[in-house]
């Protein structure tokens, strides 16, 4: 059992001093307060602020292997679709060992960036044997010590009504029956204290709508969260409208009983009305600002003061920094609206909203009891070095904005996942 006492502790709304965090033997937070863990030895974290570990709600770890690649454009301007060709070339050469290596690299960088939970949207399943890459990914998470929510992807078509392309065969979910059998196997293999499952029908272009509706209903019956890519590119919307007369999210809202267990990833070209309808269902929107910028996908236009649940993801892992995702979530909206302070809470508070997206918002999307320093939550924590030059001049009131807008990974002094330091 551990009792931590940092100079300042984030309570979800503000930094407070004189607070201790008591962690039980299972790695959960037992108590928080001035007297928490009374009678036990206290580990003083001098010069540190304690935040909930960041939750990365959307990652494709293997794409870490593309960093610095696909960034030359001899044939003229590229797009998501030209980038996808480079990504498929990486997939083609991906072995179990290579996935384990790339995922371990990505997960270590995440831990160094203060990320303690990753939602891994995992779609490259088949290697030397069917589903053999699933195991490599789970091992990479266990080896590095990050908490994993394995968002097991179902992928069936190479576009609406089109068969899989040869490059997509390693993604094949086969059928809903085979997919759920695989989910049952995975459930039996995982350590539920460190790794849980979610269901991820890839997108409207990769899953027929009838199967998507069936997967969603079964996943929610099992109380699993459901994530899907939604309206990342204009072409996806055009093809869906041509085939069905509906935009992708419009179709999902019509056919699925979307609820708080659903997360729409991107929503880059989603209409304001559809975003509002998504929010009415209690569903989460997951933004991946650095990846959307890298791919040139565009920017959503979010309503100023939007109160709907929002999570953040590092997606392609071209850069791994939750601080930067927070910053660019807001900066992207500033550039769209030509105004400052778009992603604010009531009273115009910015930092709390951005920190909330990187912690509670992600935890909600992934269905994990993390993202808060409160009893009953996992003791997933990140320590901030208050002596870091980048934060010089901070006050308890300005620290959220100083972190979200002004800081980089040098301020991250370490993390705990389930109360434990990850192995080095």
Which residues here bind Zn ion, judged by CB under 5 A? 315
What span, in angstroms and rounded, lies between the C-alpha atoms of 70 and 78? Answer: 9
Helix 176-189 to helix 209-221 angle, to the nearest 10 degrees?
Answer: 30
> What is residue 334's DSSP assignment?
H
Q: How far is the CB of 85 from Zn ion (least distance, A)?
A: 16
- Evaluate whether 124 touches 77 at the Cβ level (below 8 Å): no
Residues counted in the chain: 424
Which residue lies nearer to Zn ion by CB, 2 or 56? 56
CB-CB neighbours of 242 under 10 Å: 9
Which residue lies nearer to Zn ion by CB, 315 or 401? 315
What span, in angstroms and rounded, lies between the C-alpha atoms of 308 and 172? Answer: 33
| Residue 377 annotated among the catalytic residues of the structure | no
Q: How far is the CB of 58 from Zn ion (least distance, A)?
A: 6
Q: How far is the CB of 63 from Zn ion (least distance, A)?
A: 9
For the chain, the farthest-separated pair of C-alpha atoms sits apart, in whole angstroms, at: 68
Q: How far is the CB of 204 from Zn ion (least distance, A)?
A: 14
Q: How far is the CB of 289 from Zn ion (least distance, A)?
A: 13
Torsion sign over Cα 83, 84, 87, 93: negative
Tell me which H or E stretch contains 120: strand 115-122
Which residue lies nearer to Zn ion by CB, 113 or 200? 200
354-368: burial string, b at 16+ Cβ within 10 Å, e else: bbbbbbbbbbbbbbb
| Residue 315 annotated among the catalytic residues of the structure | yes
Catalytically annotated residue among 266, 269, 377, 380: 266
Which residue lies nearer to Zn ion by CB, 83 or 394? 83
Which residue lies nearer to Zn ion by CB, 119 or 356? 119
- Evaluate whether 44 touches 61 at the Cβ level (below 8 Å): no
Sheet strand arrangement including 115-122: 54-59, 115-122, 147-154, 195-201, 226-230, 262-266, 284-287, 310-312
Catalytic residues: 266, 315
């Amino acid at each position: 059992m551990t009792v931590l006492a940092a100079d300042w502790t984030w309570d979800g709304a503000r930094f407070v001093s004189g607070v201790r965090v008591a962690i039980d033997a299972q790695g959960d937070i037992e108590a928080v307060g001035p007297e928490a863990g009374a009678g036990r030895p206290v580990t003083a974290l001098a010069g540190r602020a304690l935040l909930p570990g960041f939750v990365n709600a959307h990652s494709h770890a293997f794409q870490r292997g593309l960093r610095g690649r696909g960034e030359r454009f001899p044939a003229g301007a590229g797009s998501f679709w030209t980038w996808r060709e480079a990504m498929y070339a990486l997939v083609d050469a991906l072995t179990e060992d290579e996935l384990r290596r790339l995922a371990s690299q990505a997960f270590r960088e995440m831990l160094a960036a203060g990320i303690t939970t990753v939602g891994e949207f995992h779609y490259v399943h088949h290697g030397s044997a069917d589903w053999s890459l699933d195991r490599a990914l789970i091992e990479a998470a266990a080896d590095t010590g990050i908490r994993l929510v394995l968002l097991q992807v179902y992928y069936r078509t190479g576009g609406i009504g089109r068969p899989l392309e040869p490059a997509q065969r390693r993604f094949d979910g086969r059928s809903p029956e085979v997919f759920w059998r695989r989910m049952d196997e995975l459930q039996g293999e995982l350590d539920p204290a460190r790794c849980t499952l979610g269901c991820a029908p890839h997108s409207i272009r990769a899953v027929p709508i009838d199967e998507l509706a069936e997967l969603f209903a079964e996943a929610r019956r099992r109380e699993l969260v459901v994530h899907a890519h939604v309206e990342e590119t204009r072409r996806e919307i055009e093809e869906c409208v041509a085939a069905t007369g509906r935009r992708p999210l419009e179709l999902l809202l019509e056919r699925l009983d979307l609820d708080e267990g659903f997360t729409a990833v991107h929503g880059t070209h989603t209409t304001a009305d559809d975003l509002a309808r998504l929010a009415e269902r209690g569903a989460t929107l997951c933004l991946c600002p650095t990846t959307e910028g890298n791919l040139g996908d565009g920017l959503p236009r979010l309503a100023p003061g939007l109160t709907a649940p929002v999570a953040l993801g590092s997606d392609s892992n071209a850069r791994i920094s939750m601080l930067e995702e927070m910053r660019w979530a807001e900066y992207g909206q500033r550039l769209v609206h030509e105004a400052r302070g778009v992603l604010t809470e009531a009273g115009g508070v910015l930092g709390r909203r951005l920190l909330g997206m990187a912690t509670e918002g992600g935890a909600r999307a992934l269905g994990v009891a993390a993202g808060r320093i409160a009893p009953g939550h996992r003791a997933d924590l990140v320590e901030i070095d208050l002596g870091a030059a980048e934060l010089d001049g901070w006050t308890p009131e300005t620290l959220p904005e100083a972190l979200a807008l002004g800081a980089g990974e040098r301020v991250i002094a370490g993390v705990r996942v389930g109360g434990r330091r990850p192995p080095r």
